[in-house]
Amino acid sequence: MSLKLYNTQTRTIEEFKSNIPGEVKMYTCGPTVYHFAHIGNLRTYVMEDVLEKSLTYLGYKVNRVMNITDVGHLSGDSDTGEDKMLAGAIREHKSVMEIAEFYTNAFKKDCERLNVTWPQTVVPATSCIDDYIKFVQSLLEKGFAYIAGGNVYFDVSKLKDYYTLTNHQADEMVVGAREGVEEDFNKRNQNDFALWFTKSKFESQELKWQSPWGLGYPGWHIECSAISLKYLGEYLDIHCGGVDNIFPHHTNEIAQTESYLGHKWCNYWFHIQHLNTEGGKMSKSKGEFTTIDLLIEKGYNPLAYRMFCLQSHYRNPLVFSYERLDGAASAYKKLTNKIENLQKSATGELNKDLILKYQTKFKDALENDINTSLALTCVYDVLKDENLNSNTALYLIQDFDKVLSLNLLQQNTAKVNDDLHEYILQKIELRKQAKAQKNYALADEIRNELTKQGVTLIDTKEGTSYKIN
Ligand code: AMP
Ligand code: ZN
């Protein structure tokens, strides 16, 4: 099998082909750091983490970039309302940059607790102002943008197809936060969007920069496009976000980026469905939401929440309740207890055939549009299989946990196992080289050294494997 992913743009499950074979350029929209991330936001980041780790597991080298939105995201997604960062600063009597730093660190801590790996490149939006200005200037020169009332807007009427992600179906569009929607009379078309603001009702905007159009600040959409181009180049493989980002954010990103480049930009759009409460969408702007801190306060292990996320497919909406989380927490505890018991009596030689069989099953689950619940089932199947000795079962579970990241083996033991495995493989390789050079004394010395350390080498026609005594 090969990797298949659902692509929002084509509304089909497609075979994944990266622009450069073996490499993936992946962009993920980062958090707006005006408040704590809620567990809904974190569902999106858990699933993006699983996607990145799945790609790596499947052999790709992943180059992933994420922005931190610290300016320009207004309380209404259609360029209305005040800047969310400013609202956060006013709420907490702090400066915007203090708010940004505090909530970026809080988000980082949440990611750590959920075993979400911090992306290789993380870029605060305020660090790329010159790039936005150049981008906007070029759109003006190419005739895709206009100045009105002091602001610069993108003119959607210049495009053949603006709704490439939404297929003109209003009911298919998952529209983001719409509170505070007001008509902006500067716009020529209803869907035109701001690229750069110099005039807004909110003159108290704290962060402003000089630009050819006056003192102002960038629109939210231009940030992701410019950061992606700067760090990942003109051809992007995968762009991710929650479904509320489909319209207008990602629709606008495509409009401006492809107008700027003059060619197709991103091949796969990967969107994660929302985590909802029983009363509807969980949202930061509603003010009441559940955080990882709250779950910890209530006695939950954050990884039980990760397990809760993995039990469902990323394209299905997920309803959160404490009762459901209790179910995941109890399954997680049972699973880790079982594995812990297995570790106490770890014996047996690694069985290569069975390793391959289960790794293939696990890969198939990932390749099937990142089917995490099937991938989790592989762990249970390994534990159930009586033909698997405990060392082979533990080896497989540790291998699957590279993607699941549930600390299925006690973290320290896992690290030791990993290091030991690497060490033994290196020794086997050195012994092979010694034999090839007819240095049998050295080859024997390596074998004896390992024997003393409790490792028996087994030579077969296919090569050398080992057994831990
Ligand atoms: P924000 O901090 O509002 O910019 O959102 C950060 C990420 O969380 C974005 O990718 C959103 O699409 C995503 N998101 C927002 N609300 C939810 C939710 N209830 N469930 C899952 N993801 C969400
Ligand atoms: Zn974005």
Higher pLDDT, 87 or 129: 129
Distance 236 CA to ligand 2 centre (A): 14
Per-residue model confidence (pLDDT) at position 422:
75
Residue closest via CA to ligand 1's atom 7 equals: 41
**Average pLDDT, integer, range 60-89:** 85
Distance 274 CA to ligand 1 centre (A): 8
Backbone angles phi, psi at 369, to 5 degrees: 55, 45
Q: How far apart are the first and last CA of the chain?
A: 37
Which atom of ligand 1 lies closest to the CA of 318? 20
The length of the chain in residues reads: 469
Query: What residues are paired with 148 via a beta bridge?
Result: 151
Q: Look-up: residue for tokens 């030579």?
A: 459
Residue ranges lining ligand 1, Cβ < 6 Å: 29, 31-32, 40-41, 43-44, 69, 241-242, 244-245, 272, 274-275, 281-282, 284
**Average pLDDT, integer, range 258-286:** 91
Q: How far is the C-alpha of 85 from the C-alpha of 87, rounded, in Å?
A: 5
3-state SS assignment for residue 272: strand
Q: Spell out the SS3 assignment of 290-339.
A: CCHHHHHHCCCCHHHHHHHHHCCCCCCCEEECHHHHHHHHHHHHHHHHHH
Distance 271 CA to ligand 2 centre (A): 12
Q: Residues 93, 102: contact at Cβ < 8 Å?
A: no
Which atom of ligand 1 lies closest to the CA of 44? 22
Q: Look-up: residue for tokens 């450069």?
A: 20
Q: Residues 114, 46: contact at Cβ < 8 Å?
A: yes
Residue closest via CA to ligand 1's atom 6 equals: 31
Q: Which of 32, 38, 44 has most ligand 1 atoms within 8 Å of its beta carbon, as the pocket-test mutant?
A: 44
Query: Quick one: tokens of 302?
Result: 């954050």
Q: DSSP letter at 118? A: P
Q: What percent of the chain has pLDDT over 70?
A: 91
Backbone angles phi, psi at 361, to 5 degrees: -65, -45
The pTM is what? 0.85
Q: What is the pLDDT of residues 347-372, one digit of tens each?
A: 999 999 999 999 999 999 999 999 99
Distance 221 CA to ligand 2 centre (A): 6
**Average pLDDT, integer, range 41-67:** 98
Lateral strand order in the sheet of 23-28:
121-124, 61-68, 23-28, 236-242, 266-272
Per-residue model confidence (pLDDT) at position 29:
97
